[in-house]
Amino acid sequence: MKINRPEITEEEINFICEKFRKSLEKRLKQHGRGSYTTSHELLGYMAEEYNELVLAVQKKDGIYEECLDVAVVGIFGAICHCSGKMEVD
């Protein structure tokens, strides 16, 4: 059975993309632009953020913020990997 999902608008996408950019900038101000050094370091940060998202879903509070945190770690990790500055171990 197919789930009837409401469509996301372009405005909603643009709004969250701007919030993501601000979250990334905040992360860079707090922690600097130093690359993750290994894929296991990335995995550790991602696991921490994922676990916080799971708790937010269970509490039904803070889901929006934790989704942004997961996205920031994921995109920053992709940047580190694509730049060749992160060792894949």
Map 33-88 to HEC letters: CCCCCEHHHHHHHHHHHHHHHHHHHHHCCCHHHHHHHHHHHHHHHHHHHHCCCCEC
Has this prediction a pTM greater than 0.85?
Answer: yes
Classify residue 17: in a domain, yes or no: no
Indicate whether 18 belongs to any domain: no
**What total of structural domains would you count in the chain?**
1
Domain, as residue range, for 64: 34-89
Whole-number pLDDT of residue 7: 96
In a domain, 28, yes or no: no
- Would residue 5 count as lying in a domain? no
* Residue range 50-81, pLDDT digits in tens: 999 999 999 999 999 999 999 999 999 999 99
Q: How many CB atoms neighbour CB 63 within 10 A?
A: 13
Asked, for residue 26, whether it belongs to a domain, the answer is no
Q: What is the pLDDT of residue 45?
A: 97
Q: Residue 88: inside a domain, yes or no?
A: yes
